[in-house]
Amino acid sequence: MWRYVLKRALLAVSIIFSISLITFLILNVLPGDPVAMMLGEFADANKIREVRHNMGLDLPLWQQYLQWITNLLRGDFGSSYFQKKPVLFLILQAFQYTSYLAAMAYIIALIIGLFMGIIAAVNHGSWLDRFLMSISVLGISAPSFWVAILLQIYIGLKFKIFPVSGVQTSIGYVLPAIALGTRYAASISRVTRASMMEVMGQDFIRTAYAKGLAPFRIVMVHIFRNALIPVITIIGADIGSLLTGSMITENVFNIPGIGKLLIDAINRRDIPLVQGGVIYVAAVCVIIYFIVDVLYAVVNPNIRFGEK
Amino acid sequence: MTKSMTLKLDSFGKEIVKIDKPHGYYYESFRIFRKNKVAMVSMGVLILLILLAIAAPLITSFDPDKQVLSERLLSPGVKGHLFGTDEFGRDIFTRCIYGCRISLSVGIISQLIASVIGYLMGVSAGYFGKRADDVISFLIQVFSSIPFLLFAMALMYALGSGLLNLYLSLGLLSWANTARLIRGQVLTLKQQEYIQACIVNGGSSTRIIFKHLLPNCIPMLIITNTLGIPSAILTEASLSFLGLGVPSPTASWGAMISSAQTYIRTNTYYSLFPGLFIIASVMAFNMLGDGLRDALDPKLHK
């Protein structure tokens, strides 16, 4: 077990390093002078040279990368060019909102998705099943920012209960969380339905019915519990896209999360903040994948013994 | 597969035995695909969208980018504007149709790029093995852990907005899944006799990779390509929504929804229409992909 964890941990660390290299290359090697972009078109050459020197951009690339990565390891993400604050401070502050929104969205998605999936599986083949599954196809195909705007128009502005902008109170999270959660609710309902159907065909379920157990008990205890494993499996895969998806929803609802921070940084050409934000979110995703991997191994011995 | 024999005598009185060739793999697949109603309907929707994209100037008489400030923010149906007009007096229906060009081309071309990279990576990993496999497998893991939208944002930021850059960055970010599947496929194919025979006969690697392995990987490439398109379309819409997609006057669904945000209190329909186009195209590609996966599965062939 510990061998497996160690192996996975090493892999996660090397993936994070590779991603940091890719991030660095994307933002530093590709055409366009970041400083000239940052200072705007009217900056004079001397100023550009000075800023380049201050930021260490006149050093050879590999030195810049080494410097950046050693600073990162010490927890120094540099400081934002415009906000004049440490990048890490800004990111951590914003990330609270993002992770809160993502967690809310996923809880809503789980509740709706599991409920829809169970109803559809129990009534499979009926019009209700077809109706629920058509809705889930719609949910998977709709972009979250569009759902967000529809929610603003048809719920936020109509009923005046949920604010359409900002999160001064936690009720402000409701609409963004629904908008972000829709697509996950849809995919969870499909997976739940499929895996419930698979369990339903098995012998022990027939036995349970034959014993005369209450149908509700059979569905919830016998079928649902056994159908949960594939559902848990997709949670891990969803987390990365959940965090980045949250970044877009934040922009619609004006939530000061990491998405808003990054987009503002991109629009102001604030390189240190963009670079720090990208590597931070990517690293969080990789670490979560790692944790999920280890948890699977704990739950499912096949995985850890399957690995050499 | 149908086999039938016909017996005939030719002019010299000799028997001619004619055996109909068994129908090929793709013919069988097409036969299965044709029976799948959902897939056929989505195919129809896609053909319609592609026709709209190509024939856009013939369908609408409005110019997608021309501003008519006297006709700003009209409701649907007013003055011949089917979906109304936007804040610059441009016809929303026209812009939706021209938006097909961006979304469909980004979806299709970026996934073609991803397929080429994915095939080359996967086949090199599976065929050459050893060090090549280690390096490529690691790259596959790195690229599948990368948050797609986040790095699409970073790439578009670095490259600058534009159609060509969209093709490139989405293509560069989405090859990992294809490569993983192709690698697995090639590992199995490599064990088969005809490939072994070709290796023993001294067939060059290039010949094996392109002449023998590629045709066997085409069905898988078709499926991953089709199923990759919807997420590319959604990502393009998100990027354009954030202002990182195509530059400003060009009509793109995501960008239209973004500008509609300001008018949610007055013009509720404005944001509705581009979203419906996104849903229609994404749904159609998803269901077409599912249909193709069923049709191309050799286990389901008779």
B7-17 pLDDT per residue, tens: 566 666 666 66
Here the contacts of A288-296 (C-beta below 8 Å, separation 24 or greater) are A288/A236, A288/A239, A288/A240, A289/A12, A289/A236, A289/A239, A289/A240, A289/B145, A290/A8, A290/A9, A290/A11, A290/A12, A292/A235, A292/A236, A292/A239, A293/A8, A293/A236, A294/A4, A294/A5, A294/A8, A296/A233, A296/A236
| A263–chain B Cβ distance below 8 A for any pair | yes
Query: What ipTM was reported for this prediction?
Result: 0.85
Instruction: Say if the Cβ atoms of B237 and A143 lie within 8 Å.
Output: yes
The answer, yes or no, to whether residue B116 has pLDDT greater than 90, is yes
In angstroms, the CA A59 to CA B159 distance is: 22
Determine contact, residues B92/B86, Cβ cutoff 8 Å. yes
- The residue to which tokens 């799948």 are assigned: B36
Arithmetic mean of pLDDT, B209-224: 89
Instruction: Enumerate chain B positions whose Cβ falls within 8 A of a Cβ in A.
Output: 138, 141-142, 145-151, 153-155, 157-160, 230, 234, 237-238, 241-244, 254, 257-258, 260-261, 264-265, 268, 271-272, 274-275, 278-279, 282-283, 286-287
- Residues of chain A found within 8 Å of residue B243, distances taken between Cβ atoms: 263, 267
CA-angle at A131, arms to A128 and A133, nearest 5°: 110
The answer, yes or no, to whether residue B37 has pLDDT greater than 80, is yes
Indicate the Cα dihedral angle A171, A172, A176, A181, nearest 10°.
-20
Residue percentage of chain B with pLDDT more than 90 = 31
pLDDT at residue A152, as a whole number: 86
Residue percentage of chain A with pLDDT more than 70 = 90
Q: What is the mean pLDDT of chain B?
A: 85
Confidence class of residue A247 from pLDDT cuts 50, 70 and 90?
confident
In angstroms, the CA B150 to CA A266 distance is: 12
Output A270 or A139, whichever has higher pLDDT. Answer: A139
Among candidate residues B90, B37, B102, the one with its CA nearest the CA of residue B260: B90
pLDDT at residue A308, as a whole number: 41
- The residue to which tokens 């980018």 are assigned: B65
pLDDT at residue B120, as a whole number: 93
> Which CATH number applies to B42-300?
1.10.3720.10
Work out the number of other CB atoms within 10 angstroms of the CB of residue B162: 14
The answer, yes or no, to whether residue B278 has pLDDT greater than 90, is yes
3-state SS class at A294: helix
Output B7 or B129, whichever has higher pLDDT. Answer: B129
The answer, yes or no, to whether residue A232 has pLDDT greater than 50, is yes
Lowest mean pLDDT among A43-52, B145-154, B268-277: A43-52
A50-59, A92-101, B76-85 — which one is most confidently predicted on average?
A: A92-101
Determine contact, residues B94/B55, Cβ cutoff 8 Å. no
Determine contact, residues A11/B141, Cβ cutoff 8 Å. yes
Arithmetic mean of pLDDT, A55-63: 75
The answer, yes or no, to whether residue B122 has pLDDT greater than 50, is yes
Min Cα distance A96 → chain B (Å) is: 18
- Supply φ then ψ for residue B91, to 5 degrees: -70, 125
Q: What is the mean pLDDT of chain A?
A: 83
Query: If you measure CA to CA, which chain B residue comes closest to A239?
Result: B147
pLDDT tens per residue, range B285-302: 998 988 888 888 877 776
In angstroms, the CA B113 to CA A244 distance is: 23
- pTM metric for this prediction: 0.86
The answer, yes or no, to whether residue B19 has pLDDT greater than 70, is no
The answer, yes or no, to whether residue B2 has pLDDT greater than 90, is no
Check residue A251 and give left, alpha or beta (phi > 0: left; psi -120 to 50: alpha).
alpha
In angstroms, the CA B100 to CA B49 distance is: 7
Output A84 or B39, whichever has higher pLDDT. Answer: B39
The answer, yes or no, to whether residue B81 has pLDDT greater than 90, is no
Which candidate in A13, A17, A21, A26 is best for mutational testing of the B interface (most B CBs within 10 A)? A26
Residue percentage of chain B with pLDDT more than 70 = 91
| Residues 6+ positions from B276 with CB-CB distance below 8 Å | none
Q: Enumerate residues 159 to 198 of chain A having a beta carbon within 8 A of any beta carbon in chain B.
A: 164
pLDDT at residue A305, as a whole number: 65
pLDDT tens per residue, range B190-211: 888 888 888 888 888 888 888 8
pLDDT at residue B302, as a whole number: 61
- Residues of chain A found within 8 Å of residue B260, distances taken between Cβ atoms: 149
pLDDT at residue B20, as a whole number: 65
The answer, yes or no, to whether residue A50 has pLDDT greater than 90, is no
Confidence class of residue B106 from pLDDT cuts 50, 70 and 90?
very high
| Residues 6+ positions from B93 with CB-CB distance below 8 Å | B60, B62, B81, B82, B83, B273
Lookup: tokens for B260:
């509609």
Return the bridge partners of B19, or none: B5
HEC profile for A24-68? HHHHHCCCCCHHHHHHCCCCCHHHHHHHHHHCCCCCCHHHHHHHH
Among candidate residues B45, B46, B91, the one with its CA nearest the CA of residue B68: B91
pLDDT at residue A303, as a whole number: 65
Domain ranges of chain B: 42-300
The answer, yes or no, to whether residue A41 has pLDDT greater than 70, is no
pLDDT tens per residue, range A138-157: 888 888 889 988 888 888 77
Cα–chain center distance at B58: 25
pLDDT at residue A229, as a whole number: 76
In angstroms, the CA A150 to CA B74 distance is: 19
The answer, yes or no, to whether residue B223 has pLDDT greater than 60, is yes
Among candidate residues B234, B244, B148, the one with its CA nearest the CA of residue A267: B244
Return the bridge partners of A79, or none: A86
The answer, yes or no, to whether residue B3 has pLDDT greater than 50, is no
Output B88 or B104, whichever has higher pLDDT. Answer: B104
- The residue to which tokens 């719609």 are assigned: A138
- Supply φ then ψ for residue A75, to 5 degrees: 85, 10
Which candidate in A244, A250, A280 is best for mutational testing of the B interface (most B CBs within 10 A)? A244
pLDDT at residue A32, as a whole number: 59
